[in-house]
Amino acid sequence: MKKYTFLGLILIISNTYLLAQSLDFAIANKTTTDTEVTFDVVLSSDTPFKLGSGQLYLNFNTAAFGEWVINNDAVTISYPDGSVLAQSNGFPLYTSFVQNDNIASRFSFSWQQGVSSGTYPADNITRTPAVLFRVSIAFTAGGQFQSDDICFESSDVFDDQTFTACGPASFGFADCLNESGIQLTDDNFDCSALLPIELLAFQAKAQDNYSTLINWQTASEYNNEFFTVERSVDGRTFLPLKKIPGAGFSNTEVSYHTTDTNPQIGINYYRLKQTDFDGAFTYSEIRNVVFQRSTKVGLKVYPNPTAAEAIVSFLPVATTGTIHVFDTKGQLVQQQLIPANRSQIPLNCQAWPAGVYMVQVELDGQQYNQRIVVRA
């Protein structure tokens, strides 16, 4: 692929003036696999504005990725849905994306404004961090065992390469020669790889009613659309249990909870899957809760007395069972199958004469009895 030196900013500078407006660039949402590192470059500002052209420089550890990562096709830069550089309003707002190796351990990425500031529907850089673009860098052989050391290059030479959008204020193409943007000159860089959520706690606890209470708290959330509570019985294959909406963007503590009303006998493994608005996701650590099979299955029949319906409740087992209902003469009134892993079965008592009945539950080779009173 042919490489081009980025000259657009040099041409614009002579027609702009400088503004000491704070810009906060950050590496965020970093994920690492055996083959690559992926992260978002995000931007916020103390003063909202329409982003024009810009250029950023990123350093990396050559022991992890090799040298000259652009020339070696080790870098993929993309623009996920919702990212600033993917925005359009009839026309793409940004064009001329250029990647270059500057030295063996640094590459640059630049973009140009494609339309006038009047074509922008609104300020797209605000106090809330916005994803500019996404970067994936492939590991060299064995590189996954090295520190990636990914961080912005910052010095007088590399800073202040961001501009507000050129005019005109009407819909159309940009005229940066006659209605230039403003060069912004107060860059701040954070390479700490801000996570989508800062998780304070994640707990799963067995409850007396044979359920699992799952709760968690976040200190902050960034671009967090929802959580999915997942459960596994082998610690490897997880299935979704509950979906809980996230707070989106938050800098205050938020608490969440849900209940697994039908855990399995044995070990139940739980984890959180956090999903961004653009579909990216991360996982929490795994918690486990153990439910032991007991000779007492916690048989309950309620309400008792009843006139219409009763619920037979018990600890679920992996095999099927049966319910038999007898009157005081020992006559079978009703028989019902219990499917495997069920914990509740409704009984319709409306047709039964008023009196006392024996509910007999057979589960896992054991028999359990509970009296119930039916009223007229």
Is residue 243 in some structural domain? yes
Q: Are residues 16 and 157 in the same domain?
A: yes
Residues 287 and 308 in one domain: no
In a domain, 2, yes or no: no
pTM: 0.56
pLDDT at 118 over 70: yes
pLDDT in tens, 165-201: 999 999 999 999 999 999 999 999 998 876 778 889 9
Confidence grade of residue 317 (pLDDT, cut at 50, 70, 90): confident
Same domain, 276 and 323: no
pLDDT digits (tens, 9 = 90+) for 82-95: 899 999 998 999 99
Q: Which helix (H) or strand (E) holds 8?
A: helix 8-13
Is the pLDDT reported for residue 222 higher than 90?
Answer: no
- Is the per-residue pLDDT at 32 higher than 80? yes
Query: How many independent structural domains does the chain possess?
Result: 3
pLDDT at 227 over 90: yes
Tell me, yes or no, whether 1 lies in a domain.
no
Examine the domain organization and report whether 17 and 123 are in the same domain. yes
- Same domain as 217, residue 184: no
Does residue 120 sit in the same domain as residue 238? no
247 and 182: one domain?
no
What average pLDDT does the segment 108-117 reach? 96
Tens-place pLDDT, residues 245-271: 999 888 789 999 999 988 877 889 999
Q: Are 112 and 95 in contact (CB under 8 A)?
A: yes
CATH number (domain holding residue 207): 2.60.40.10
Residues 65, 147 within the same domain: yes
Q: Return the pLDDT at 297.
A: 65
* CA-closest candidate to residue 210, choices 325, 341, 304: 341
Cβ(124)–Cβ(86) under 8 Å? no
| In the predicted structure, residue 20 carries a pLDDT above the cut 90 | no
Whether residue 166 sits in one domain with residue 79: yes
At CA 75, angle to CA 72 and CA 79, rounded to 5? 150
CATH number at residue 322: 2.60.40.3080
pLDDT in tens, 42-75: 999 999 999 999 999 999 999 999 999 999 999 9
Q: Do 347 and 314 touch, CB atoms closer than 8 A?
A: no
pLDDT of 238 above 60: yes
- Residue 160 falls inside a structural domain: yes
- Between 10 and 42, whose confidence is greater? 42
Structural domain for 201, as ranges: 197-291
Q: Burial of 111 by CB count in 10 Å (0-12 exposed, 13-18 middle, 19+ buried)?
A: buried
- Mean of all residue pLDDT scores within the chain: 87
Residue 2 has pLDDT above 60, yes or no: no
Question: Per the domain annotation, does 3 fall within a domain?
Answer: no
Domain shared by 269 and 322, yes or no: no
Query: Across residues 286-305, what is the average pLDDT?
Result: 78
> How much is the average pLDDT of 322-347?
89
Q: What is the pLDDT of residue 293?
A: 58
pLDDT at 210: 74
- Residue 364 belongs to a domain: yes
Say whether pLDDT at 14 is over 60. no
Expressed in angstroms, the distance from the first to the final Cα of the chain is 86
Domain C-terminal end among 267, 291, 315:
291
Residue at 262 is within a domain: yes
Which pLDDT belongs to residue 8? 37
Single residue among 171, 194, 217 that ends a domain in this structure: 194
Boundary-marking domain end, from 142, 172, 194: 194
pLDDT band at 5 (very low <50, low <70, confident <90, very high): very low
The predicted pLDDT at position 11 comes to 37
31 lies in the same domain as 15: yes
Distance in angstroms (rounded) separating the CA atoms of residues 132 and 346: 55
Residue 12, pLDDT score: 39
**Across 148-160, average pLDDT:** 91
Omega within 30 of 0 (cis) for the link into 48: no
Residue 61: which CATH number? 2.60.40.680
Q: Please, which residues have CB within 8 angstroms of residue 39's CB and are 6 or more apart in sequence?
A: 27, 28, 29, 30, 31, 134, 135, 150, 193
Residues 78 and 159 in one domain: yes
